[in-house]
Amino acid sequence: MNETAVVESRAGVATVTLQRPDAYNAFDLAMMERFANAIVSLGGDEAVRAVVVTGAGRAFCAGGDLRWATSFAGGAPAAFHTLAAAFHVAIGEIRRMPKPVIAAINGVAAGGGFSLALACDFRIMASSASLRQAYTSSGLCLDGGGTFTLPRLVGFARALEIAALDPTIDASQALSAGLTHRVVPDGESLASAQAFAAELAHRSVHAFGVCKALMTDSYDTALEAQLERERAALSRCAAHPEGVEGLAAFVAKRKPRFGD
């Protein structure tokens, strides 16, 4: 059986490649279960300090495989219910993973691929790549956390417009809208994402993870509660080995050594 989610690790950076290029890396249940298992495993792997997600061939990910869904034995509603369960395990793990996750968007990211890209902490797009939510044009609503991440990235009104009109968003538009962090020449998205991941891996991943969790939860937290969470988290960071190293390096006026 061909592997449809391939993991390679080097120097603290793990790269997960979606591997159904003939289907533009659209995912059926077997593929999504492999991907979710890989993400869960990487989240608990202390040797991995950053994760890159990309797609094989010409696409990042075309989302759920609609041909698979419409031929599912229990019908399309049952197919989406089952597929979303596995997909949402992966999305939840990415958002809760205490390490950076970077999407290397080498081609089209549509449907679930759009939501997957937005769930990552950072996005690096090839200049010819594009984003498209695609769900509503097929009479479906966004899943994969798309209704959570999209309005937080572009604002509520713009997110509704994208849901209503389903535009194709090219790389330059994505950069202007805040949907991607960098645009690079075609063929360089993966290398650029891996280089960025390596840079992040040599910084305090623990501090990043704490900030990521605090920011994710801040939308549903009152100011006073958030301040108390920050105070408790700051004390925990100071006691963590990376906090101890960072403070010692500051006092000694040297560069801290994280992840060495």
**Structural domain count of the chain:** 2
In a domain, 117, yes or no: yes
As beta bridge partners, residue 125 has: 105, 183
Please provide residue 107's backbone torsions phi and psi, each rounded to the nearest 5 degrees: -160, -155
246 and 134, same structural domain?
Answer: no
142 and 213, same structural domain?
Answer: no
Give residue 31's pLDDT.
Answer: 95
Question: Which structural domain range is residue 209 located in?
Answer: 205-252
30-40 pLDDT, tens digit per residue, is: 999 999 999 99
DSSP 155: -
Which residue in 120, 88, 97 sits closest to 48, CA to CA? 97
**What is the distance between the alpha carbons of residues 197 and 26, in angstroms, rounded to a whole number?**
25
Q: Is 55 exposed, middle or buried (0-12, 13-18, 19+ CB in 10 A)?
A: buried
CATH number at residue 191: 3.90.226.10
In a domain, 231, yes or no: yes
The last residue of a domain, from among 184, 201, 218: 201
Is a pLDDT exceeding 80 seen at residue 1? Answer: no
131 and 192, same structural domain?
Answer: yes
In a domain, 257, yes or no: no
90 and 18, same structural domain?
Answer: yes
As beta bridge partners, residue 184 has: 126
48 and 14, same structural domain?
Answer: yes
Give residue 40's pLDDT.
Answer: 97
50 and 133, same structural domain?
Answer: yes
241 and 138, same structural domain?
Answer: no
Question: What value does the mean pLDDT of the chain take?
Answer: 96
In a domain, 24, yes or no: yes
Give me the half-sphere count of Cα atoms (radius 13 Å) on the Cβ side of residue 125: 26
In a domain, 140, yes or no: yes
The last residue of a domain, from among 185, 201, 217: 201
140-154 pLDDT, tens digit per residue, is: 999 999 999 999 999
Give me the half-sphere count of Cα atoms (radius 13 Å) on the Cβ side of residue 54: 26
124 and 57, same structural domain?
Answer: yes
In a domain, 151, yes or no: yes
232 and 176, same structural domain?
Answer: no
Give residue 2's pLDDT.
Answer: 62
The last residue of a domain, from among 201, 221, 238: 201
Give me the half-sphere count of Cα atoms (radius 13 Å) on the Cβ side of residue 191: 5
192 and 102, same structural domain?
Answer: yes
**What is the distance between the alpha carbons of residues 72 and 252, in angstroms, rounded to a whole number?**
63
In a domain, 137, yes or no: yes
Task: Determine the average pLDDT of the residues in 99-123.
Answer: 98
Q: What is the distance, to the nearest Å, from the Cα of residue 247 to the centroid of all Cα atoms in its chain?
A: 30
209 and 181, same structural domain?
Answer: no
Task: Determine the average pLDDT of the residues in 246-250.
Answer: 96
Residue ranges of alpha helices (H) inside the chain are 29-43, 66-70, 76-96, 112-119, 146-154, 156-165, 171-177, 189-201, 205-218, 223-239, 241-252
108 and 69, same structural domain?
Answer: yes
